[in-house]
Amino acid sequence: MESTPSFDHKALLDLAEMRMPFGKHEGMRLIDLPEPYVVWFAQRGFPEGRLGRMLRAVYEIKVNGLEYLFEPLR
């Protein structure tokens, strides 16, 4: 029997609410950041802490073509 991967719905909701606190896209929701901007962070290093973890999650979702997960949250 295959196990179903666990999914943290609250983490996805938190991700949808979080806004970029600085930079060119300050105030924009993380889920709406342009992919090249998120890739830029991936190449240069994500910030420390919660913001970095959230940006890393956005990066993984975007580069793996899973942005449809964001649609109900917009």
Say what the pLDDT of residue 1 is: 53
Kindly state whether residue 3 falls inside one of the protein's structural domains: no
pTM: 0.83
Distance between CA atoms of residues 73 and 2, nearest Å: 29
Kindly state whether residue 2 falls inside one of the protein's structural domains: no
Say what the pLDDT of residue 2 is: 56
Read off the pLDDT of residues 26-47 as tens digits, 9 standing for 90 and up.
999 999 999 999 999 999 999 9
Read off the pLDDT of residues 44-62 as tens digits, 9 standing for 90 and up.
999 999 999 999 999 999 9
Which domain range does residue 65 map to? 9-73
Task: For helices 9-17 and 49-63, give the axis angle rounded to 10 degrees.
Answer: 100
Split into its structural domains, the chain has a count of: 1
Say what the pLDDT of residue 51 is: 96
DSSP 18-48: -B--SSTTTTSBGGGS-HHHHHHHHHH-PPS
